[in-house]
Amino acid sequence: MDFEYAALTHCGRRKNNEDNLCAEPALGLYAVADGMGGYEGGEVASQIAVATLAEFLRRNAADDDVTWPFGFDPSLGLDENLVNVAVRFAHREVAARRTGALAQMGSTVALMVARGDHAVVAHVGDSRVYRLRDARLEQLTRDHSVYAEMQAAGVADLPPREQCSFANMITRALGMDAEPSADLRREPLRAGDVFLLCTDGLTEKLGDAELAARLALPTAALACRALVDDAYAAGGRDNITAVVLRVR
């Protein structure tokens, strides 16, 4: 499959951008990460996360005899194992740097690795992956957050997310003391599919209908620019990051 892609990140109305992104077509890797842990820590954590993912996949592409830092999970396929190990490696690298001023840093991550006629989608935290197919938008990830878990449990009287004081409280992140498990799924690719990887600064300001309308624009570049610009225009305070891929 051939991809057309575009990627943008914007500081929003914050003084520092703690988001990072990665788009490596030769590796089939696309990722976004949203850091946390103070002015310097969040930026460092998200940068380590995306750089480590790319480094691991690059080493695997270049050397058939590369040694994995973690064992093979027999319950997963080869491609899912590759992505799972890459995320675990990223977590280890973030955790190893949690000292001094960086002691509280961590990062979410949402990624997609394309392999032939399919892709593996993975995430930790509340950064998301969406797919627009046949004019229907589907969220392929479920936030690792207190709010999403309460919603999934059917908690009564749960207020709308935008009115909830703990809406941004996540339950998994790279760098946490306990190693977080990534949720993984394998998705077939079809010509015409449009994928969006984004941080929560985008989805806090644009709903599903607005996401779908912008992803339907004729190019990935137009869609990506419209998403980021419109989230900012809607009052977005948080960092805003988007990667858009169109399958050709």
131-159 pLDDT tens trace: 999 999 999 999 999 999 998 899 888 88
DSSP category for residue 174: B
Distance of CA 109 to CAs 124, 150, 209, 219, Å? 5, 21, 24, 25
Q: What's the pLDDT tens digit per position in 191-232? A: 999 999 999 999 999 999 999 999 999 999 999 999 999 999
CATH of residue 163's domain is 3.60.40.10
Q: What's the pLDDT tens digit per position in 65-121? A: 889 999 999 999 999 999 999 999 999 999 999 999 999 999 999 999 999 999 999
What angle, 0 to 180 degrees and rounded to 10, lies between the N-to-C axes of helices 220-233 and 208-215?
150
43 lies in which domain range? 3-247
Using CA atoms, how far apart are residues 239 and 228, in angstroms rounded to an integer? 10
Number of domain units in the chain = 1
Q: Residue 206: name the closest of 137, 150, 154, 105 by CA.
A: 137
